[in-house]
Amino acid sequence: MSVTIWHNPRCSKSRATLKLLQDRGIEPEVRLYLDRPPTKGELAEALTALGLSAMDLVRTSEPEWKLTGLGPESGKADVIAALAAHPKLIERPVVFCNGSARIGRPPEAVLDLFEP
């Protein structure tokens, strides 16, 4: 089983999700996505794995979002480009396992990835 977490160690939800996984014996690959931002292609793949729209992955309360000039009516490609350019806008954490993904808000939301 391959597990990856897009992690921001400064985020309490991200830390809690990582700890939840580790407490269950799951040692994910930790990707510090602010240091190594996902590409547009990786973001598109993440949205497919999550089953969400591009806007569902945006932290719209961040000042950087307002600076993009984008909004709920913006196209998927534009939103993905903004997320790639400003990884701080990516909702976190995102946990990937075997082609599926969940956002860890709340942290327990990722647990169904590991149920049979």
Catalytic residue among 3, 4, 11, 88: 11
Strand order, beta sheet including 94-97 = 29-32, 3-7, 94-97, 100-103
* Residue 11 falls in the annotated catalytic set: yes
pTM, entire model: 0.95
Q: What is the residue extent of each domain of the chain?
A: 3-114
Per-residue pLDDT of the chain (116 residues; tens, 9 = 90+): 899 999 999 999 999 999 999 999 999 999 999 999 999 999 999 999 999 999 999 999 999 999 999 999 999 999 999 999 999 999 999 999 999 999 999 999 999 999 87
| CATH classification (class only), 3-114 | alpha beta
DSSP element (H, E) containing 31: strand 29-32
